[in-house]
Structure 1
Amino acid sequence: MSTFYNIQSTIHLAFKSSQILQPLTVNHKYCAEFGQKPTAEEAKEEQNLLSSIAWPGPLVQGLPVEFSSDPANSYFVIQGPEEQHIGGQLVVDVHVQNFLDLPKKHGGDFLIARLHSPELGAGVSGKVYDHQDGNYTVLFPLLWAGKVWVEITMVHPSEAVVVLKRLQEEDPYRVFFKSLFRSGAISETTFCNLCLPLNQPLCNYTDLETGEPWYCYKPKRLGCDTRVTHYKEDIKQKLITEYEEQFFQGGINLKCPIHASERRSVTVLPAGEEQTPVKNHHAAFGYYYNNSWRPLNAMDMHHFKDSAAITRCLKGKIVHMLGDSTVRQWFEYLTAFVPNLERFDLYSSKNKGPFLAVDSKNNIMVSYRSHGPPLNYNTVFTSDLRYVSNELDRIEGGPNIVVLVSVGPHFNSFPVEVYIRRLRYIRRALVRLLNREPATLVMIRTINMRKLNPGNSLSNSDWFSVQQNAVLRAMFQGLNIQILDAWEMTLAHHLPHDIHPPPAIIENMIDLILSCICGVEKT
């Protein structure tokens, strides 16, 4: 294995100049040997999932940047009449061209779409279909009356996606983690990750219950049992060549708008008496109207405008929040908005937890705990590193128990296989939880859109998130859980994208969660 690693390193260094802070170079297929081996059924599922998210791209690579997709030269065309009806479907054709103003002949561009009416506080996301010939079709459900505007954005040209795919395959461990080891006056720090090359002694911190792997280089003077903290050290610099950098230029080809060739809007009229509503091929999770989220599934939505209403909803409930900082936002919203929820941080880190809030009068308890590594936080005590699946096994469950989970953004820089493995363990634990207490309410959150720049795109692009979201939806399909589609709730909203969505979006998420908890009657 050491010889294999040395060969890998030699090949890698031949093509990439050496950089500061490069303690390891490991291919993720090599790392797949670490951790529990999936069953034959799970291995087949993984292959099907990977096939389902396969992304098309250019057959010829390395062409001058002028041949790459240019959002400024691309355009969209709205199909159908200038007046359409609620219940119908708006069809928009997108034609992608290069910097030479020539049509592209292949697909693979990462596009997102939104239909909105600013004066109504209304918006819904669109479904993009790639014809793999430089042309795309976007479908929008028509859900409200008024003038609606089409917004198409190129997040990445297909040439940039090729680079992101290469980073996934060749440099998945480009985010560096470290741990502090301390005993008395002696302290040392070493690099850590999901797997490390076997060219020096390792400390094995593989979780005994799930088999999730985690390793650190063994300190020179201290034992493996002296590990105190975990933290993100840095992100490897100079990940791509100067040629590849041309595909990640803000204001040019990174999250840039595509313009209409003619009209950008249509007028939506009330549904006609004889009109048969078009089936929602878009399968939208919901939409905004009057800046309030309206789900399109069978559930009834209620908006909790005062703390008393939230207290009545949560009375007698225990709410467990497990995961990353985006679910922590829910904890912070509730404890700030509901004065009766007394927060106990118990010397916890300000942003990382674990946190607890209690309303003893109304028998309410809300807790937050971050998920286990990989975790891109500054400093976390190793004693606070808990895997979500293990925490789920410690929850009794029942009709008064609510479990909210968010696991995703910290896996952006890793291969999708790593994320699949983590979700597999969580799914197993949820099946056990729901088998012993079927009345437990469980809600899992997708990853939302974020602000992108040339730097963070290489490790935290929305393209990584859209793949992970597709995997999450597929893996939890059929289970008695709720999916909160944070992706759509940020895409459909007019506010700028942010990994930590602004309060207006968080408020709508909380209203959705509380509506699921309380089963309120339709108003």
Structure 2
Amino acid sequence: MWQRTELLRSSSRIAINLKDIHGIKIRGFAVAAVSACTIIYLMHAISAFVLVEQPKPVPGFRMEGIRKQIYESQWIRIFPHLKAMIPVVTDGNKFSITSARHSSIELLNANQLRMGGIMKALIISRCEAGQRKSYGGDFFYVILRRPGSNGSDGVTCEISDESDGRYIATCIMPWSGKATIHARIIHPSESIYQLMKRYSSEKEFGIHQNTTMRNSMNGIESTSCSVGFPDKRPEEICDYTNPTHGEKRTCLKPPSGGCPKTILYQKKVVEQRSAGESIDRMYCNEENYLKPISGSGNEISILKTERADNTSSHTADHFTDLSSTSFDPMRPSGWLYAGKWNSFKTARSFGHDIATLKTCLSHKRLHLFGDSTARNLYGHLVRSLKIKDYGLAVAWSRGRDGASSEMNMTIQYRSHGPPLNNPGPEDARPYMSDSFDAIHEGGKGTVVVFTVGYHFHFFDPDVYLLRLKIIKQAVLSMLERLPGARVIVKGLHYHWESNIGRSPWLTYRFVTMLRHEFRDVAGVIYMEHWDYTLLRNNSGVHPKHEIFMGTFDILMTHLCLL
């Protein structure tokens, strides 16, 4: 529906840093304070009598109270800069959206650029009207690239959101010579808010999980399953919550009206196209999605230190502990030089040497839990080390077991349980908490590598947070039961291609939550590789072979140093 532009009532909640405007009356609406971006927007609208298409509600959402729901959620507490944005972010005003072409980055310490030191830069976020934003929440990345390399050499930079339109980028400088600053906006804050609204339900957005059941009359019926169905009455739902640890799962009652045992997950059906195509006009409009900002591409010169070569093997002390991690995935754990990964946490790298891998894995009981990315690790180890595989390939999610008498080692793969959007029988998807409970052998020599997250992207993040807490309790119980056992949390990797959610921020949000939940837990090591895959500009959930092998090397380094 088209109508004349009017002042958004929500603008009265926006704080101004540039100046305060009091007593404004436009078309009968009294405003105490509005953002400079909105004022300029109104001036354009009034002077030109502009007709603006009003934003249409997102299908399937009840907008009443959604801002409050997000603000009071559990997951948002991990992101204070996003929580500060929620009360003031504009919703539907395209003139207030952060603009890539008007936003900029500039150096703060241009005279202090020395190898092994820190480069600091200031990002200023501006709206389409060219005025600085009064709130944060934009999703940027900044990378220092080494010119003349293969295009992937460089180091990622940590970014601090000041919640007032300013962002501080902090970059380690591990080489001397030239470096190029690459700064891009991935999503404006307004688009981040739209993503929050879209993925805020126990019912997975965009996915219909068809489940086949056998009823009491021995007939086959089909129905839909998910974590929850908020719009359905209790009598319309069958409860299949995990009885041991409480992971919630429900299905709609089939036509027979009973709640039989589920026997087969069939396939996922995409109900909606990509979020970037339907969520709003601001989200993925080729102007502000993964676009460079002003100042991106500028070159700097980094001075040498007293070292003879042009690279640094040591940086600040807070990068030396292999078992620690920060909350921010952008904070670098290493850097790429001549195509080789150099860790800030250890000087050692174990590469692809088969003899070394056999030595590392000898006398180990290795468990791999998670999604298809964990299954791929299992397959690669079995093929590379010629391990005897006893699994049956009925479905990729079904458990696999292998053993090597030469290395005196065993290896196991188990999926992470619902939600898991792939076909397979019920017993092919055990809950990860139950898989941890099933480990009774060993102590020293028992290693569990797990990953979880990609199949939770399109749910309310509190669903994922609760699952992490349940898994954490199972991890702690196993470590207490088996002294000497170790757990490696394989973090999520950067990617931007997806059939229904082309957004790196969805993964960024979950990898931050994963880091937060397992940070500084005794006996648990977090494997960081978000920065590695960002430097390599990884596109898919399943990385190409070269990038996969890079992450495999990082994992093997963690395993070999246990």
Name the TM tier (shorter chain).
Answer: 0.7 to 0.9
Q: Could you tell me how far 1:63 is from its partner in structure 2? A: 5.2
**Counterpart code for 2:546:** A
Q: TM-score, normalised on structure 1?
A: 0.81
Match 1:65 to one of 76, 94, 111: 94
User: Contact conserved, 2:214 with 2:262, CA < 8 A, in 1?
Assistant: yes
SS at match of 1:180: strand
User: Contact conserved, 1:58 with 1:159, CA < 8 A, in 2?
Assistant: no
Deviations 1:374-409 (A, max 9, x none): 1122x1211112111110111124222110000111
User: Contact conserved, 2:236 with 2:252, CA < 8 A, in 1?
Assistant: yes
* Alpha-carbon distance in 1 for matches of 2:125, 2:539: 24
Bigger drift between 234-243 and 64-73 goes to 234-243
* Alpha-carbon distance in 1 for matches of 2:118, 2:531: 18
2:332 is aligned to 284
Match 1:134 to one of 165, 180, 194: 165
User: Contact conserved, 1:53 with 1:467, CA < 8 A, in 2?
Assistant: no
1:502 aligns with 2:547: no
1:198 aligns with 2:233: yes
User: Contact conserved, 1:317 with 1:364, CA < 8 A, in 2?
Assistant: yes
SS at match of 1:431: helix
Q: Could you tell me how far 1:130 is from its partner in structure 2? A: 1.7
User: Contact conserved, 2:141 with 2:157, CA < 8 A, in 1?
Assistant: yes
1:116 aligns with 2:134: no
Correspondences of 1:72-151 after superposition (within 5 Å): 72-81=101-110, 84-117=113-146, 119-120=148-149, 122-151=153-182
SS at match of 1:224: coil
1:476 aligns with 2:518: yes
* Alpha-carbon distance in 2 for matches of 1:436, 1:474: 24
SS at match of 2:199: helix
Question: Highest relative contact order (Cα 8 Å, sep 6+), 1 or 2?
Answer: 1
Change (3 A) 1:236 1:108: same
2:431 is aligned to 387
1:407 aligns with 2:440: no
User: Contact conserved, 1:76 with 1:258, CA < 8 A, in 2?
Assistant: yes
Identity %: 23
Change (3 A) 1:168 1:264: same
Larger radius of gyration: 2
* Alpha-carbon distance in 1 for matches of 2:190, 2:148: 37
1:517 aligns with 2:559: yes
**Counterpart code for 2:364:** K
* Alpha-carbon distance in 2 for matches of 1:329, 1:259: 40
Match 1:440 to one of 463, 469, 485: 485
Q: Could you tell me how far 1:127 is from its partner in structure 2? A: 0.9
Change (3 A) 1:517 1:447: closer
User: Contact conserved, 2:99 with 2:126, CA < 8 A, in 1?
Assistant: yes
1:271 is aligned to 305
1:5 is aligned to none
**Counterpart code for 1:407:** V
* Alpha-carbon distance in 2 for matches of 1:304, 1:502: 17
Q: Could you tell me how far 1:50 is from its partner in structure 2? A: 6.5
Bigger drift between 119-128 and 152-161 goes to 119-128
Correspondences of 1:331-346 after superposition (within 5 Å): 331-338=378-385, 340-346=386-392
Deviations 1:340-389 (A, max 9, x none): 2233431331x333223332332232221111111122x12111121111
1:293 is aligned to 341
User: Contact conserved, 2:147 with 2:178, CA < 8 A, in 1?
Assistant: no
Match 2:507 to one of 442, 465, 486: 465
1:309 aligns with 2:356: yes
1:162 aligns with 2:196: no
**Counterpart code for 1:371:** H
* Alpha-carbon distance in 2 for matches of 1:153, 1:56: 20
Q: Could you tell me how far 1:294 is from its partner in structure 2? A: 2.5
* Alpha-carbon distance in 1 for matches of 2:58, 2:483: 55
User: Contact conserved, 1:248 with 1:454, CA < 8 A, in 2?
Assistant: no
* Alpha-carbon distance in 2 for matches of 1:216, 1:454: 24
Q: Could you tell me how far 1:322 is from its partner in structure 2? A: 0.3
* Alpha-carbon distance in 2 for matches of 1:57, 1:306: 50
Change (3 A) 1:47 1:171: closer
Q: Please tell me the root mean square deviation across aligned C-alpha atoms, in Å.
A: 3.6
1:187 aligns with 2:220: yes
User: Contact conserved, 1:58 with 1:158, CA < 8 A, in 2?
Assistant: no
Q: Could you tell me how far 1:110 is from its partner in structure 2? A: 0.9
Unaligned residue ranges in structure 1 (runs of 5+): 1-14, 32-42
User: Contact conserved, 1:254 with 1:453, CA < 8 A, in 2?
Assistant: no
* Alpha-carbon distance in 1 for matches of 2:481, 2:362: 23
Deviations 1:464-497 (A, max 9, x none): 3222222222221231211012322212x23433
* Alpha-carbon distance in 2 for matches of 1:232, 1:444: 28
* Alpha-carbon distance in 2 for matches of 1:193, 1:336: 35
* Alpha-carbon distance in 1 for matches of 2:369, 2:191: 33
Q: Could you tell me how far 1:27 is from its partner in structure 2? A: 10
Q: Could you tell me how far 1:259 is from its partner in structure 2? A: 3.7
User: Contact conserved, 2:137 with 2:192, CA < 8 A, in 1?
Assistant: yes
User: Contact conserved, 1:58 with 1:108, CA < 8 A, in 2?
Assistant: no
* Alpha-carbon distance in 2 for matches of 1:53, 1:343: 46
User: Contact conserved, 1:286 with 1:293, CA < 8 A, in 2?
Assistant: yes
* Alpha-carbon distance in 2 for matches of 1:58, 1:25: 15
User: Contact conserved, 1:53 with 1:470, CA < 8 A, in 2?
Assistant: no
